Every structure is written in C-alpha cells, then in structure tokens.
C-alpha cells in the first residue's frame, strides 16, 4: 500500500494538524449548536400561568418557575409575592430568603 492507493488516507496524513485557534472556534460553534432556542408562549398558556399564579399568591404557596437563560432551561422555586407590570417581571422569594426577579419574556412554565 502506498500514498496513491485508492481509498487510502495516507495522501492527507500530513495535514491532520489543527491550530489551537481553530480548535477553540470549533468548540464554541459546537456549544452554540447545543443551546436551546428561547421558547415563546401563546396567550392561552399565559392565561393558565396567570390562573396558577393567582391561586398561589392568595394562599402563599411556593411555585416552580421554569425559565430560559443563555440557551438553557433553568428552574427556581419560591413564592411569588409581587408582579411588577411596569418592569414586566415577577418578584420571587426562595426558601433561603433570596429574592429573584424573573422577566416575563424568559418564563417557560410556572407550576
């Protein structure tokens, strides 16, 4: 077998080197491809979320807020104690007394 044998990869063996800059760029590209697109909720889903929030706020029960951030779906659990319609965000207080402000635009689900 030599470099000119059909089906042989030996002809290109010397070009297998990759520069560190190219590797970093390839890894960034693969990472971006794995990220999820931000989901958009329709009016019916927002009505269901509003109903869930109304009941939970009256009874002061904790909820699980599922939201989108930087290409990932994440969750926070806590009590929604205020809805700011001016800034369009939920004020959520977690069990460890930490407060979170979740914008309406990133919400995926509320349970």
Element (H, E) at 67: strand 63-69
User: What would the pLDDT profile of 50-81 be if each residue is shown by its tens digit?
Assistant: 999 999 999 989 999 999 988 888 999 999 98
Above 60 in pLDDT, residue 107? yes
Other Cβ atoms less than 10 A from the Cβ of 65: the count is 23
Above 60 in pLDDT, residue 11? no
Q: What was the pLDDT predicted at 86? A: 94
Calculate ∠ Cα 58-62-63, nearest 5°: 100
Residues 88 and 44: their CA atoms lie apart, in Å, by 18
Residues 92 and 74: their CA atoms lie apart, in Å, by 15
Domain that holds residue 73: 43-110
Q: Is residue 82 part of a domain?
A: yes
**Domain total in the chain:** 1
Q: What was the pLDDT predicted at 106? A: 92
Q: Is residue 4 part of a domain?
A: no
User: What would the pLDDT profile of 81-100 be if each residue is shown by its tens digit?
Assistant: 899 999 999 999 988 889 99
Q: Is residue 21 part of a domain?
A: no
Under 8 Å CB-to-CB from 76, ≥6 apart: which residues?
A: 64, 65, 67, 92, 94, 100, 102
Q: What is the CATH number of the domain that holds 99?
A: 2.30.30.520
Q: What was the pLDDT predicted at 22? A: 87
Calculate ∠ Cα 92-93-94, nearest 5°: 115
Q: What was the pLDDT predicted at 7? A: 63
| Average pLDDT of the residues in 18-26 | 87
Give me 62's structure tokens.
Answer: 């904790």
């Amino acid at each position: 077998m030599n470099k000119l044998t059909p089906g042989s990869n030996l002809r290109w063996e010397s070009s297998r080197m990759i520069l560190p800059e190219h590797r970093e760029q390839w890894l960034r590209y693969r990472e971006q491809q794995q990220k999820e697109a931000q989901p958009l909720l329709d009016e019916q889903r927002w009505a269901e979320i509003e109903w869930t929030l109304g009941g939970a706020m009256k009874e002061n029960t904790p909820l699980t807020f599922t939201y989108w951030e930087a290409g990932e779906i994440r969750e926070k659990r806590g009590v929604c104690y205020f809805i700011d319609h001016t800034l369009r965000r939920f004020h959520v207080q977690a069990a460890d007394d930490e407060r979170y402000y979740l914008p309406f635009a990133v919400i995926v689900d509320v349970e």
